[in-house]
Amino acid sequence: MFSSLSHRNNKQKYYILNYLKLIIPDFFFRIKLKNKLNSLKKSDFEYVKWRLNYYNKLKTKTDLPDEIKTLEYFKIKNFHRTYFFDTYQYSRFFKKSLKLNMLFGDIVHIPKIPSIVKSRPISEKNNNSILFKLNKIRHFTYTNDKNSFEEKKNLLIGRSAITKKHKKRIDFFQKYFDHHLCDLGKINNNEIYNQWLKPKISIENHLKYKFIMCVEGVDVATNLKWVMSSSSIAVMPKPEIESWFMEKTLIPDFHYIEIKRDYSDLEEKLKYYINNKDKCLDIIKNANKYTSQFKNKKIEDIISLLVLKKYFYFTNQINEFENLDY
């Protein structure tokens, strides 16, 4: 999904600040690690512990293969810039001799060895997929929605890129492109389904609608974070992929409007919520509260550092780890 300048993260500022931080020697970060972790308030301990063990589920110690590279190899020339900066921001607090297996991009499989990923399948057997807050300049965008829900259009808006990989979106568009309660459009001009082609629109224009489509693409629905921070409502099936946003913990018809995986009840659900304003307002309130937890930078930093430290501990690379009852 696309955004306008007032609602999107400032990419120019993001890159300038991160390039400037490269000037600072890593040594200054390593000596601050202990104090940074010790700054955690007792009142936040249980919450941080829960999120740490949600992202990093490792419970059994294992050695990484010899071919896994150390942090010495972790340089900007070797990786996509945003993934590099989002990882290096925290990895530089640790010794460069430590190994870290990183799988960047839209990861929808469970790796054979413990690996840092942006996304993972929702499963009880995804322990080797250690979630990290990656590509956040794109994925962690929030809105400052001043529009009243009551004044918005009683329609579902959806603008998406569609390729052959986007089977869920293709199915949704095939069923509802011409539906009277939907305003759907494909925003990328390629060789398939160009009969659905419509111009890109800003987040502001999305927010003129009460309901916003959040169907997963290759991995997670990128727009879900800014939709849930607005006064519109996300409409989607139960997530199958999760990220740092912890999609598995979202409660249907409490944080978002859930529809069946085959989308067959979309019209029924939209009509119900169009006629039940109070339930819509409750969902918006709950979604806004859920989203707000990711805006506390100090907590986000501590959790990110602990996720890495726990990784190094359970891969037999460091001997000590905070007693967080992992």
**The pLDDT of residue 128:** 98
Please compute, for residue 214, the number of CA atoms within 13 A of its CA located in the half-sphere on the CB side.
29
Is residue 141 within 8 A of residue 7, CB to CB? The reply is yes
Q: What is the domain range of residue 20? A: 11-139+295-314
CB neighbours of 318 closer than 8 A, spacing ≥ 6? 98, 309, 312
Residue 324 is predicted with a pLDDT of 63
What does the chain come to in residues?
Answer: 326
Tell me whether residue 267 is in a domain. yes
Cα gap 276→274, rounded to integer Å: 6
Q: Specify the pairing of strand 153-160 against strand 182-186.
A: parallel
Instruction: Tell me, yes or no, whether 198 lies in a domain.
Output: yes
Q: What is the domain count for the chain?
A: 2
Query: Quick one: pLDDT at residue 170?
Result: 97
Low-confidence stretches of the chain (pLDDT beneath 70): 1-8, 322-326
Distance CA 252, CA 249 (A): 10
pTM of the predicted protein model:
0.93
Distances (CA, A) of 296 to 12, 134, 180, 291: 22, 16, 40, 10
The answer to whether residue 72 sits within a structural domain is yes
**Is residue 207, in this structure, part of any structural domain at all?**
yes
The H or E element spanning position 226 is helix 224-228
- Give the model's pLDDT for residue 162: 94
Q: Residues with Cβ < 8 Å from 292, sequence gap 6 or more? A: 229
Predicted local distance difference test score (pLDDT) of residue 7: 57
- 235 and 306 within one domain: no
Query: pLDDT by residue (tens digit) across 232-241?
Result: 999 999 999 9
Phi-psi region of 273 (alpha: psi -120 to 50; beta: other; left: phi over 0): alpha
- How far apart CA 129 and CA 215 sit, in angstroms, is 22
Please answer whether residues 74 and 325 qualify as being in contact, where contact means their C-beta atoms are separated by less than 8 angstroms.
no
The CATH number of the domain holding residue 184 is 3.40.50.2000
pLDDT per residue as tens digits for the range 174-213: 999 999 999 999 999 998 999 999 999 999 999 999 999 9
25 and 113 part of one domain: yes
